[in-house]
Amino acid sequence: MDIRFNFGEIQGRILRACERSARDPQEVRLVAVTKNVPATRVKEAMECGLRRFGENYVQEALPKIRALGPEAEWHFIGHLQSNKARHVVGNFRMVHTVDRLSLAKELDRRAPGPEPLEVLIQVNVSGEETKSGIPPESLPELVRELVRLPLIRVRGLMTMPPYFEDPEMSRPYFRLLRQWRDRLRGLIPPPHSVEELSMGMSGDFEVAIEEGATFIRIGTALFGPRLP
């Protein structure tokens, strides 16, 4: 699969989704998801102009982070065990999947500073038991605790709706996340903020953009089907 061609197609689709929803395309940032993608392919993606990459597994990510150098910006998007937190700080710019206070405390404790680690809170908007993330009703309480940690900066929310064939089915979940974002905005003291919405993958990113996504996380539409 040709990354340059796929990237061009995706950019066109992002622009059209922004037009439909009267949004500024600058507000929508692409995270290229590189799980199971070897470093050589990630390098190709960089040659096509991609700079922001998402990884689900710390051990898989570290050699790629070293291989790609300082021009790449890394986002952690997988389930994070607290004992891996020390590998995440300093290597990743942002963690999209903070879903408990104990994890945030560990990230804060391990952060080298002075640059704070940016975090998003993962929200389980569907209530599916198999999904990570906190129930939306728990957001205000968790946010109040997180903003007290000095080396963490809360930046927004992330979600993964259930899988549907029809991307329109994801829309109510994306909308719910945006509504929670809007509700939390007033609760957050600077330097924290709740502006970012990480939502939308290869199958449903256009709907996510229409509903306000500021980070879309795209793997297969860019790199082709993942090899096991």
Ligand X SMILES: *Cc1c(COP(=O)(O)O)cnc(C)c1O
**What does the alpha-carbon distance between residue 98 and residue 102 come to, in Å, rounded to a whole number?**
9
User: Which span (4-12, 101-109, 137-145, 197-205) binds ligand X, by CB under 6 A?
Assistant: 197-205
Q: Which is nearer to ligand X, 91 or 132 (CB)?
A: 132
To the nearest whole angstrom, how small is the minimum distance from the Cβ of residue 36 to ligand X?
A: 9
Instruction: Work out whether 121 is an interface residue with ligand X (CB under 6 A).
Output: no
The Cα 169–Cα 119 span in angstroms is 27
Does residue number 95 form part of the binding site for ligand X (CB under 6 A)?
Answer: no
Q: With binding defined as CB under 6 A, does residue 217 bind ligand X?
A: yes
Binding-site member from 68, 95, 201, 213 for ligand X (CB under 6 A):
201
Range 64-83, binding ligand X (CB under 6 A)? 77
φ/ψ (deg, to 5) at 103? -65, -45
Note whether 218 binds ligand X by CB under 6 A: yes
Give the shortest CB-158-to-ligand X separation in angstroms: 8
CA distance 125 to 128: 8
- How is 150-211 classified by DSSP, letter by letter? TTEEEEEEEE-PPP-SSGGGGHHHHHHHHHHHHHHGGGPPTT----EEE---TTTHHHHHHT
H or E element, residue 122:
strand 117-123
77 or 154: CB nearest ligand X? 77
Q: Is 119 in the site for ligand X (CB under 6 A)?
A: no
Instruction: Specify whether the CB–CB gap between 92 and 53 falls below 8 A.
Output: no
Q: Which is nearer to ligand X, 99 or 149 (CB)?
A: 99
Q: Which residues pair with 117 in a beta bridge?
A: 152
Q: Which of residues 39-58 bind ligand X (CB under 6 A)?
A: 56
Q: Is 126 in the site for ligand X (CB under 6 A)?
A: no
Residue numbers at the binding site for ligand X (CB under 6 A): 33, 35, 56, 77, 160, 201-203, 217-221
